């Protein structure tokens, strides 16, 4: 009897040992796994074998680990592990580098994971929206790093097509599509906030970056969690899928696919095949299904079912629960293997919770099964890691390598033995490598933010929160008051020049006028006829004239001779040379106005630098030039700044118009101020238009905290260093150049064009503002980028074009934001002047940047409405330029003169 029982027990024991033996891998077997993994790594890197390689070795476009110079505030998403997290990450440098993070975890219900792609991304955006509300950040357009823990074919840091879903995800209409586009579309659908998705990052890469921030030797990222995967810094010359041989790039191995070409069938057990067969993606991710948290519990369950069926466990009784897929979670493995003998009751209560009545022996066997499965998983990961570290050692031609692996994942973190076995296996299989493992404390969200910071390094300083914009608004408001104040005006940077224009057109204007429009991108001469048939109508004819560089950089007399010559030519063509028509002179520069005429130029701006004009009365200079010709006569009645001309032109159509703005070659604004506030002009009644000359804002250093190295470089290379600092940060004359300087810097850092720097790219003015507008066009922008960059000889890759588009967006967005802030200051002043709870007004606007740039106006309007919520602002584009407005002012000036003449 006893012998029969002992024999039965012994044979049962043998059967169990035989079963578990299929999970026991010898060193030889592990070395084979290592060798096979190495072969697949190489095949994944090579262009011709990549398509059939089971380890895909996907380029990540991350060229280096953090160097501690990163800083800024970023949003990060972390999707694909156990938890979906939305984070805000603040990175500071200076005293000990510090990163502060706030995050919120959101559930991804199964029906969303396995629903439609649209539902999934709408859910993600819903969570972001909730987080932004929670953080009170709905109006900040922060750059975002997206940790997306699935295999993506990336063609750039912010462009990646999902190869295939893994783990528990199976949403439709996503595989083969760009994940960043899908997120952008979902954000657009929700239309509640705007985000700048700067980078898409695999969680292994995010983990490597997070750990490399602490330990510069960290060049490998390992996830041993729901899924299993590794990335590492590979030599560019070995990555045949990407152009270039210089430096390194992080490669996302996607080793989870190892074995999909049947090269580890020798160690896969029937339980592995069961689990694979019952998974969401049979035949896929075979290595992952032997090593990761999503499947280890399932493998154990399959073994328990088999042993029970064979009467070796639970007295052969299979419960419904044990038949339930996913019921034996991997966390049970960790718990069971943590329990030593005196904690059997705990183990048994786990089995009880699964409806399994177990004996002591059962518990021992279950623990052995768990141990066998997790041990094999750790060893397999160790063998894979040994292949990676040895490859890196050989890449660098080293006999001995010291390197750190950044790790994350619940399996590695929570399982009692997994990490130790993995480390031991690496040590054994890669004896020439000293491999340290550091646990990622903060998850890969931090890493994603660091990557965004690396890319965004030169751009983060160009992003302003509403808080900062409100601060700039307050600063500008103070400057306006300084400019208006009699005693503070001399030192004020914003000169707040009185224009002697007391109101917008009142419909009584009439006459035949000539208008000169000098200072914008075109010099235009117009004939403006204002008549009163049924209603007041304006007819205009105009002609554009060259203002060659040698003229506008030559002597003042040559410049005004040129203006007089063009005027003569125009009057010739208009057959009015015999007439002495009143002339309105739109002079788009800062000048001191004395009742519309004379006008003393304070300083040239933009492209103009004619000598002998600053401090002079430009009307006198023009009259002199006209006199010198003697072939016609003109009566220059009024000098008008183009902002004033624009306000008058728009005021002709909208009586609410009381602000005029130019966002063109230069930038400036005027508005109707209460006369009692203008100390430089007598009188307290009524209003007068003030030409703010906001281009000079910051000339006293008040904007140094937001000016970047590129702004300083622009100023150093300009015609008027130290002057018009605000204008140089925002206007069309400088925007293209700002972008060029950033591109040169990023290329020098290898972040663009594989570091290629061509003479064209180094040539000032080669990258124009019209290029910025063209590149930011949503549809054909990237094609345009390719065209323009190719002309600069930098042979741009597709992701270069995306990155350049991104740089353009940041620079132009900054401009729109800054102008929204200064305009916001003018609007709140108007509101306060009117002492009304809500301001209703119209802003007349002109200028090639505002007109030509595809997104500029929308961005400006949106920010103004956020910064000055208690206002209804209509933005009225000046269709016909400031010439019409100048004619209106001239009409007055003529009337004033006539009235005056009659008095004398
Ligand atoms: C935490 C990281 C996340 C990653 C996860 C993996 O922040 O990006 O996907 O670890 O571990 P799991 O949650 O799948 O166990
Ligand atoms: C058109 C106006 C002109 C102004 C110009 C500014 O008629 O007075 O100077 O807009 O825009 P820009 O040509 O500098 O882009
Ligand atoms: C995915 C990887 C990811 C890993 C860890 C795998 O299923 O394919 O992209 O890194 O899980 O989360
Ligand atoms: C000038 C302003 C002008 C603006 C827009 C600036 O450079 O100083 O007077 O209004 O450009 O043309």
Contact 167 CB / ligand 3 (< 6 Å): yes
pLDDT, residue 97, reads 58
CB 828 within 8 A of CB 477: yes
**Span 656-678, average pLDDT:** 97
H helix runs in 749-869, sequence order: 769-775, 781-791, 798-834, 848-852, 856-867
Instruction: Note the pLDDT tens digit of each residue in 856-888.
Output: 999 999 999 999 999 999 999 998 888 888 888
Among 151, 222, 232, which is best to mutate for testing ligand 3, by the most ligand atoms less than 8 A from CB?
A: 151
Contact 863 CB / ligand 1 (< 6 Å): no
pLDDT band at 65 (very low <50, low <70, confident <90, very high): confident
- Work out whether strand 84-92 and strand 98-106 pair parallel, antiparallel, or are unpaired: antiparallel
pLDDT band at 9 (very low <50, low <70, confident <90, very high): confident
Among 523, 848, 884, 889, which is best to mutate for testing ligand 2, by the most ligand atoms less than 8 A from CB?
A: 848
pLDDT, residue 813, reads 92
Instruction: Note the pLDDT tens digit of each residue in 439-459.
Output: 998 888 888 888 877 766 677
Angle between helices 360-395 and 330-338 (to 10 degrees): 110
Q: Where are the beta strands (DSSP E) in 80-190?
A: 84-92, 98-106, 143-148, 152-156, 159-162
82: CA distance to ligand 1 center in Å?
6
Instruction: Note the pLDDT tens digit of each residue in 677-725.
Output: 999 999 999 999 999 999 999 999 999 999 999 999 999 999 999 999 9
CB-facing half-sphere around the CA of 784: CA atoms within 13 A: 17
pLDDT, residue 597, reads 66
**Span 383-404, average pLDDT:** 96
Given the CA of residue 231, which atom of ligand 3 is nearest to it? 10
> Is pLDDT of 341 > 70?
no
pLDDT, residue 2, reads 63
pLDDT, residue 902, reads 61
Given the CA of residue 733, which atom of ligand 2 is nearest to it? 14
In this prediction, what percent of the chain has a pLDDT beyond 70?
98
**Span 237-265, average pLDDT:** 92
pLDDT, residue 338, reads 87
Please give the model's pTM, rounded to 2 decimal places: 0.66
Given the CA of residue 848, which atom of ligand 2 is nearest to it? 15
**Span 12-41, average pLDDT:** 96
- Work out whether strand 599-601 and strand 591-593 pair parallel, antiparallel, or are unpaired: antiparallel
DSSP 837-891: SSEEEEEEEE-HHHHH-TTHHHHHHHHHHHH--SEEEEEEE-TT-HHHHHHHHHH
- Higher per-residue confidence, 803 vs 335: 335
pLDDT, residue 904, reads 54
Instruction: Note the pLDDT tens digit of each residue in 453-487.
Output: 776 667 778 888 888 999 999 999 999 999 999 99
Query: Which residues are catalytic, by number?
Result: 524, 588, 642
Instruction: Note the pLDDT tens digit of each residue in 535-578.
Output: 778 899 999 999 999 999 999 999 999 999 999 999 999 999 99
Residue with CA nearest ligand 2 atom 5: 520
- Higher per-residue confidence, 506 vs 675: 675
pLDDT, residue 455, reads 65
Residue with CA nearest ligand 1 atom 11: 409
Among 525, 846, 851, 852, which is best to mutate for testing ligand 2, by the most ligand atoms less than 8 A from CB?
A: 846
**Span 263-288, average pLDDT:** 96
**Span 521-547, average pLDDT:** 89
How far is residue 310's CA from residue 323's CA, in Å, rounded to a whole number? 15
**Span 235-254, average pLDDT:** 90
> Is pLDDT of 425 > 70?
yes
129: CA distance to ligand 4 center in Å?
40
With CA atoms as reference, report the closest residue to 814 among 191, 141, 73, 75. Answer: 141
CB 660 within 8 A of CB 690: no
CB 308 within 8 A of CB 321: no
pLDDT, residue 678, reads 96
CB 28 within 8 A of CB 123: no
Question: Which of the given ranges, 65-79, 130-144, 284-298, 337-351, has the highest pLDDT on average?
Answer: 284-298
Instruction: Note the pLDDT tens digit of each residue in 738-764.
Output: 999 999 988 887 778 878 889 999 999
pLDDT, residue 415, reads 96
Contact 334 CB / ligand 1 (< 6 Å): no
Which range has the worst mean pLDDT, 140-154, 414-428, 556-570, 659-673? 140-154
**Span 792-806, average pLDDT:** 86
How far is residue 81's CA from residue 225's CA, in Å, rounded to a whole number? 7
Peptide bond before 598: cis, by omega within 30 degrees of 0?
Answer: yes
């Amino acid at each position: 009897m006893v012998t029969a029982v002992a024999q039965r027990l012994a044979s049962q024991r043998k059967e169990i040992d035989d079963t578990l033996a299929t999970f026991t891998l010898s060193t030889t077997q592990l070395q084979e796994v290592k060798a096979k993994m190495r072969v697949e790594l190489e095949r994944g890197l090579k262009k011709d074998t990549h398509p059939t390689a089971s380890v895909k070795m996907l380029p990540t476009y991350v060229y280096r680990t953090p160097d501690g110079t990163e800083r800024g505030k970023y949003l990060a998403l972390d999707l694909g592990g156990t938890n979906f997290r939305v984070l805000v990450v603040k990175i500071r440098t200076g005293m000990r580098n510090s990163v502060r993070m706030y995050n919120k975890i959101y559930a991804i219900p199964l029906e969303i994971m396995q629903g439609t792609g649209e539902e999934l991304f709408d859910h993600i955006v819903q969570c972001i929206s909730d987080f932004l509300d929670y953080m009170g950040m709905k109006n900040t357009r922060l750059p975002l790093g997206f940790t997306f823990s699935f295999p993506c074919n990336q063609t750039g840091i912010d462009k990646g097509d999902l190869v295939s879903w893994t783990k528990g995800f199976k949403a439709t209409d996503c595989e083969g599509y760009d994940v960043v586009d899908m997120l952008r579309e979902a954000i657009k659908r929700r239309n509640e906030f705007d985000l700048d998705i700067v980078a898409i990052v695999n969680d292994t890469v995010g983990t490597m970056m997070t750990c490399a921030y602490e330990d510069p030797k960290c060049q490998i990222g390992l996830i041993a969690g729901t899924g299993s995967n590794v990335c590492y810094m590979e030599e560019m010359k070995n990555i045949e899928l990407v152009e270039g041989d210089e430096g390194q790039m992080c490669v996302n191995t996607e080793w989870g696919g190892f074995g999909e070409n049947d090269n580890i069938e020798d160690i896969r057990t029937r339980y592995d095949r069961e689990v694979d067969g019952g998974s969401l993606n049979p035949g896929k991710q075979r290595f992952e299904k032997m090593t990761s948290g999503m499947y280890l519990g399932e493998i154990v369950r399959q073994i328990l079912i088999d042993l029970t069926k064979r009467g070796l466990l639970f007295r052969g009784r299979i419960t419904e629960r044990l038949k339930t897929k996913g019921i034996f979670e991997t966390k049970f493995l960790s718990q069971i293997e943590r329990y030593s003998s005196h904690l059997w009751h705990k183990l048994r209560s786990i089995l009880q919770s699964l409806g399994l009545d177990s004996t002591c022996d059962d518990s021992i066997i279950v623990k052995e099964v768990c141990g066998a499965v997790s041990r094999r998983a750790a060893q397999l990961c160790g063998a894979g890691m040994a292949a990676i570290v040895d490859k890196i050692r050989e890449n660098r031609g080293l006999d001995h390598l010291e390197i750190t692996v950044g790790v994350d994942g619940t399996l590695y973190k929570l399982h009692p033995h997994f990490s130790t076995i993995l480390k031991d296996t690496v040590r054994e299989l890669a004896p020439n490598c000293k491999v340290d493992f550091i646990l990622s404390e903060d998850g890969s969200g931090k890493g994603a933010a660091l990557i965004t910071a690396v890319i965004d390094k030169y751009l983060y300083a160009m992003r302003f929160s509403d808080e900062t914009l409100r601060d700039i608004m307050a600063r500008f408001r103070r400057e306006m008051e300084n400019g208006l104040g009699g005693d503070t005006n001399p030192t004020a940077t914003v000169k707040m020049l009185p224009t002697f224009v007391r109101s917008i057109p009142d419909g009584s204007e009439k006459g035949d006028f000539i208008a000169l429009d000098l200072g914008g991108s075109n010099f235009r001469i117009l004939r403006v006829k204002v008549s009163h048939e049924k209603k007041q109508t304006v007819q205009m004819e105009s002609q554009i004239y060259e203002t060659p560089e040698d003229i506008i950089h030559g002597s003042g007399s040559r410049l005004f001779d040129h203006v007089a010559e063009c005027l003569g030519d125009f009057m010739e063509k208009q057959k009015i040379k015999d007439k002495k028509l009143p002339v309105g002179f739109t002079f788009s520069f800062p000048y001191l106005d004395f009742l519309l005429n004379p006008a003393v130029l304070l300083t040239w701006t933009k492209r103009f630098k004619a000598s002998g004009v600053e401090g002079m009365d430009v009307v006198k200079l023009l009259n002199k030039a006209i006199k010198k010709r003697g072939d016609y006569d003109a009566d220059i009645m009024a000098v008008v700044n183009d902002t004033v001309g624009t306000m008058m032109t728009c005021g002709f159509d909208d009586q609410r118009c009381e602000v005029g703005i130019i966002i063109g070659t230069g930038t400036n604004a005027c508005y109707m101020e209460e006369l009692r506030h203008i100390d430089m002009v007598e009188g307290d009644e009524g209003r007068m238009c003030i030409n703010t000359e906001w281009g000079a804002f910051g000339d006293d250093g008040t904007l140094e905290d937001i000016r970047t190295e590129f702004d300083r470089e622009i100023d150093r290379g300009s015609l008027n260093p130290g002057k018009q600092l605000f204008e140089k940060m925002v206007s069309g004359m400088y925007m293209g150049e700002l972008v060029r300087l950033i591109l040169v810097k990023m290329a020098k850092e290898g972040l663009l064009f594989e570091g290629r720097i061509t003479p064209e790219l180094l040539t000032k003015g080669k990258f124009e503002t019209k290029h910025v507008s063209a590149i930011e066009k949503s549809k054909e922008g990237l094609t345009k980028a390719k065209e323009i960059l190719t002309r600069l000889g930098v042979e741009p890759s597709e992701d270069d074009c995306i990155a350049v588009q991104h740089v353009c967006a940041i620079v132009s967005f900054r401009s729109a934001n800054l102008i929204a802030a200064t305009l916001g200051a003018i609007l709140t002043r108007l509101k306060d002047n009117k002492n009304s709870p809500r301001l209703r007004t119209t802003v007349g606007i002109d200028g090639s940047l505002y007109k030509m740039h595809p997104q500029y106006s929308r961005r400006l309007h949106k920010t103004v409405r956020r910064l000055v919520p208690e206002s209804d602002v209509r933005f009225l584009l000046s269709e016909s330029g400031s010439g019409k407005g100048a004619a209106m002012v001239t009409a007055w000036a003529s009337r004033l003169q006539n009235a005056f003449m009659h008095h004398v």
